[in-house]
Structure 1
Amino acid sequence: MGAVVEPVELETPRLVLDLPVPSDADLVTRYCQDPLFEQYLTTPWPYEHAHAESFLGEHVPAGWTSGSELTWAIRTERGGPLLGVISVREAQHEIGFWMGSEHRGAGLMSEAANAVCEWVLSGGIGGASTVFWRAVEGNLGSAKVARSAGFRHIEPENPTVPTRDGRGTLPAWFGVRETVVDPRAEASWHGILGERS
């Protein structure tokens, strides 16, 4: 069980990261019906409004209260519509995120991920010296975010993630972000993403 953490608002040049709230349920429901979520994420499938209500009304506040998972809504302005969600789980300070399909491609998630990493590694979570990332193999969008946010691709002994039902595993990609971005980070992604054009 982690230490109790009060919800923290983060700002970047284009974004406000704040607490996801029950009034975000309609957008969360719509975004989480994206077929890519079935393929790459562990969110419930098919995703229903009741799942969003439970996530926003129970899971998010409980995660902040216990310190087990800190979750932010991604918005372009305070009180604005939710574009996506990003979180850090207590176990290994692992980052996770998703963005509504119409908001992808503008670098917003990379900006959000970098802000969360900088907050965690500058004392937001006591004692954290690394942030981990993992995604189901083939999730190129997530890998591009990780690369842009300064993660270095690594190959652990067992590179898998649990399946949605928790009964099996899928091959996965892993990355790590240190307090100071490793100069090898960019090149570590060449095997998966190629060199930036």
Structure 2
Amino acid sequence: MEIVTDRLLLDLPVRGDVDLVTRYCQDPFFEEYLTTPWPYSRSDGEGFLGVHVPAGWASGSEFTWALRTVRGGPLLGVISVRETQHEIGFWMGAEHRGAGLMGEAASAVCEWVLAGGIDGATTVFWRAVEGNVGSAKVARAAGFRHIRPENPTVPTRDGVGTLPAWYGVREAVIDPRAEASWDPVLGPRA
């Protein structure tokens, strides 16, 4: 399932992406803010690309795309949505951050989900470890409205504990309050 945006092609991450996945996921930022294995090894990347991604597509439990600028081009990052809660997750290689590419990808994936990509989905859910400003900026750019659930946490990497988290929700029609809802977290957009 490919998704095309103005600047990106979202397609299937493949085994040939393992070197970039491994390198990107060794970024210290991932240790602090993501639940990917740490330290991240090549075998983690091989398992992600060879088992996790295909199994998610085959079962319909998680849809994962690679971000590329051209067909067959190098992987820039990864974005996925889990079917059960319609929860979006993403990461980008450090050298590709800051150009608005992930916001573009997240918008496109949300539009795909809400246009019937996941049957019956009326919202897309986002959450990130509190302090992950980059992820929150992507959520804001993609039209998510910042929300404050009763227990805003995410599970720790080992699944034993929890960490404080930020949450957002996106509907098919972007809530007019979405942009301003991020002001307490990110400040007003300049």
Q: State the AA in 2 paired with 1:113.
A: A
Q: State yes or no: 1:14 paired with 2:2.
A: no
1:96-107 correspondence runs (5 A): 96-107=89-100
SS in 2 for 1:91: coil
Q: State the AA in 1 paired with 2:77.
A: G
- TM-score (norm: length of structure 1): 0.96
Q: State the AA in 1 paired with 2:147.
A: I
Detail structure 1 runs of 4+ shifted over 6 Å in the superposition: none
Match of 1:150 in 2: 143
Residues 61-97 of structure 1 deviation map (CA, whole Å, 9 limit, x = unaligned): 0000001110000000011000000000122100000
Match of 2:77 in 1: 84
SS in 2 for 1:92: coil
SS in 1 for 2:165: strand
- Aligned-residue Cα RMSD (Å) equals 0.4
- TM-score (norm: length of structure 2): 0.99
Q: State the AA in 2 paired with 1:152.
A: R
Q: State yes or no: 1:24 paired with 2:17.
A: yes
Q: Count matched residues.
A: 190
Paired residue for 2:68, among 50, 72, 75?
Answer: 75
Q: State yes or no: 1:176 paired with 2:169.
A: yes
Q: Which runs of 5+ in 1 are unaligned?
A: 1-7
Match of 1:4 in 2: none
Residues 114-167 of structure 1 deviation map (CA, whole Å, 9 limit, x = unaligned): 000000001111100000000000000000000000000000111000000000
Q: Which runs of 5+ in 2 are unaligned?
A: none
Q: State the AA in 2 paired with 1:122.
A: A
Paired residue for 1:132, among 125, 136, 139?
Answer: 125
